[in-house]
Amino acid sequence: MDIPILLDPRSRHPLQGQLYEQVRHLILGGRLKPGTSLASSRALATLLGVSRNTVMLAYERLAAEGYLQMREGIGTYVSFELPEDCLATERLTPACSDERPCVVSRRPIAFEGRAHGVVNDGQLTCDFWLGRPDPHSFPIRAWRRLVNRRLLGAGARLTEYGEPAGLIELRREIAERIGPARGIDADPEQIIVVGGCQEGLNLTARLLLREGAVVAIENPAYQGAANLYESYRARLVPVRVDDNGLRVADLPEDGVVLAYVTPSHQYPMGFTMPLERRLRLLDWARRLGAYVVEDDYDSDFRYRGAPFPALMGLDRHDSVIYMGSFSKSLGAGLRLGYLIVPRHLVGAARTAKTLLNNGHPWLEQAVLAEFLASGGYDNHLRRIRKSYAERRDCLLDSLRWYFGEIVVSGSECGTHIAWHLGASLPRATLMRSLAAERGVGLHDLPSSAACDFGGCTYSERTLLLGFSSLDERQIRGGIERVAAALDPAHGSLRGLTRPRHPRPTTYVAP
């Protein structure tokens, strides 16, 4: 048998696998024809310098799969049962390579989409990266205790499929504890547990959109939402935001299927939509028969006054789909969020979730349900809310100390602020690169998964600063390094000589 076989003992693939593959390809490629006798395992082992067992195992696998026949007393030969035309096909259509380009003519795939940035590369020593809880704040001891308790009695919960809409204990806790805190009176049936807000967005798209459907979206907006709706071939109509959030009066008066909004803390600008505009938005939805997707991604953190009721809490016409998330309050690594859907959409939403992925992993849901029920979640929220408020104050103080009067938005709520850069400061993109040179991450809109559709005045002169994952020392140090980085570019900074201001400047409309 004069066949080209070359085994590589340093490869991560076992020798028997290499031998199997090469013989198989020789057969499929027609180099080894049906009926051809192969060397005995002993002879081939000697020839190749491998153990006889290696050859035996490869031969046995090839025989089990029908490539070879092994007959006692006769020997091993290539199976006759491989039909000649199959082999010919294989010979005529060899694998693609540079020398032989692929002969498959294929339409372009249907999918067209862009991904938003998800993973932070973590190169910077002090990164005002957005929307991340402090890793040290994760209630790891309580979580481990609950994980162990739930695993102990897990049994079939790990092996069986659960309810696709989510674990009923968890949905009950969300309906009873979180709903009322947002002014939403929902049954557990209206809650669909999802793998974070992004999956929630997906379900809204699946439920409501067909190709060409018109989606009204904030400008600027969360990139993940814009990209998602675009990937479903929706036609996006960007509507500008001002310091009261989405300019409801600018919404088209017909044809819109859904409006995507972040009324608690507009992403990225941080504006809060006041009551009047909320009511106008709901009235608009009623007039058009449109749906409003309310992304309430970080409303757990409100530092001044009570939170406004969610749009869904104000809605009396079943127009709102509410999305909540535990990514900001606990952690994005859990991939836990929920939709609250109007009653008439419960069946469709459950079906869409079933078809999507048959539901969320059990353990995270079970542990979160118990964490909520035990009051552990409320305690956790109180603790981090306090700590985030201090960090926010520290950030605002530091900015004022080094930069004097500053204009910011979004500081009353959430885990990031938008810093509207005055005329005496460089543009956001330059600020960002100057800071990065000193190891400090400041983010302009494009680097914050924020999407500017054009015609929006914020992009050039807005920096977004997340404060939840840095401690106060890091925050002060980071802003100091930014100030130092700017010095050559910016001349002497007024702020460097200013006394520390006792109270932070909060929102002033740009």
Which range, of 330-338, 385-393, 483-491, 492-500, touches a second copy by CB under 8 A? 330-338
Assess 6 for contact with a second copy (CB under 8 A): no
Assess 369 for contact with a second copy (CB under 8 A): no
74 vs 119, beta carbon nearer a second copy: 119
Assess 125 for contact with a second copy (CB under 8 A): no
Assess 114 for contact with a second copy (CB under 8 A): yes
144 vs 494, beta carbon nearer a second copy: 144
Alpha-carbon gap, residue 194 to 197, rounded angstroms: 7
321 vs 406, beta carbon nearer a second copy: 321
245: Cα separation from own chain's centroid = 24
Q: How far is the CB of 119 from a second copy (least distance, A)?
A: 6
Tokens 């605002």, located at residue: 396
Which range, of 42-50, 307-315, 429-437, 478-486, touches a second copy by CB under 8 A? 307-315
Assess 134 for contact with a second copy (CB under 8 A): yes
Q: Which amino acid is at 189?
A: E
Q: Give 3-state DSSP helix, strand, coil % of the chain, rounded to 5.
A: 45, 15, 40
Assess 385 for contact with a second copy (CB under 8 A): no
46 vs 374, beta carbon nearer a second copy: 374
Using alpha carbons, list the distances in angstroms from residue 79 to 61, 64, 68, 69, 74. 13, 11, 5, 5, 13
Which range, of 30-38, 82-90, 398-406, 415-423, touches a second copy by CB under 8 A? 82-90
The residue from 173, 294, 300, 364 that contacts a second copy (CB under 8 A) is 364
Assess 423 for contact with a second copy (CB under 8 A): no
Which range, of 146-154, 422-430, 433-441, 452-460, touches a second copy by CB under 8 A? 146-154
Assess 110 for contact with a second copy (CB under 8 A): yes
Token pair in block for residue 464: 């977004």
Assess 158 for contact with a second copy (CB under 8 A): yes
The residue from 11, 35, 43, 283 that contacts a second copy (CB under 8 A) is 283
277 vs 420, beta carbon nearer a second copy: 277
85 vs 437, beta carbon nearer a second copy: 85
The residue from 11, 37, 148, 457 that contacts a second copy (CB under 8 A) is 148
Using alpha carbons, list the distances in angstroms from residue 294 to 49, 238, 320. 68, 16, 7
Assess 482 for contact with a second copy (CB under 8 A): no
Q: How far is the CB of 355 from a second copy (least distance, A)?
A: 5
Assess 211 for contact with a second copy (CB under 8 A): yes
How many other C-beta atoms lie within 10 A of the C-beta of residue 337?
Answer: 25
Positions 390 through 419 that interact with a second copy (CB under 8 A): none
Quick check: helix, strand or coil at residue 214?
strand
Assess 71 for contact with a second copy (CB under 8 A): no
Assess 380 for contact with a second copy (CB under 8 A): no
Assess 274 for contact with a second copy (CB under 8 A): yes
Q: Which amino acid is at 258?
A: L
First to last CA, the chain: 82
Which range, of 272-280, 396-404, 428-436, 474-482, touches a second copy by CB under 8 A? 272-280
Query: φ and ψ at 207, to 5 degrees?
Result: -70, -40
Alpha-carbon gap, residue 68 to 90, rounded angstroms: 17
Q: How far is the CB of 281 from a second copy (least distance, A)?
A: 11
194 vs 236, beta carbon nearer a second copy: 194
Query: φ and ψ at 293, to 5 degrees?
Result: -95, 115
Give me the DSSP letters along 172-232.
Answer: HHIIIIIHHHTT----GGGEEEESHHHHHHHHHHHHH--TT-EEEEEESEEHHHHHHHHHT
Token pair in block for residue 142: 């309580």
Query: φ and ψ at 230, to 5 degrees?
Result: -60, -40
Assess 138 for contact with a second copy (CB under 8 A): yes
CA angle 116, 122, 126 (to 5 degrees): 115
**CB neighbour class for 309 (10 Å; exposed up to 12, middle 13-18, buried from 19):** middle
Number of residues that bind a second copy (CB under 8 A): 128
Assess 171 for contact with a second copy (CB under 8 A): no
In this structure, are residues 41 and 52 in contact, taking their beta carbons and an 8 Å threshold? yes
User: To which H or E segment does residue 337 belong?
Assistant: strand 337-340
**CB neighbour class for 234 (10 Å; exposed up to 12, middle 13-18, buried from 19):** buried
Assess 31 for contact with a second copy (CB under 8 A): no
Using alpha carbons, list the distances in angstroms from residue 217 to 220, 250, 357. 8, 11, 27
The residue from 35, 83, 375, 422 that contacts a second copy (CB under 8 A) is 83
Q: How far is the CB of 114 from a second copy (least distance, A)?
A: 7
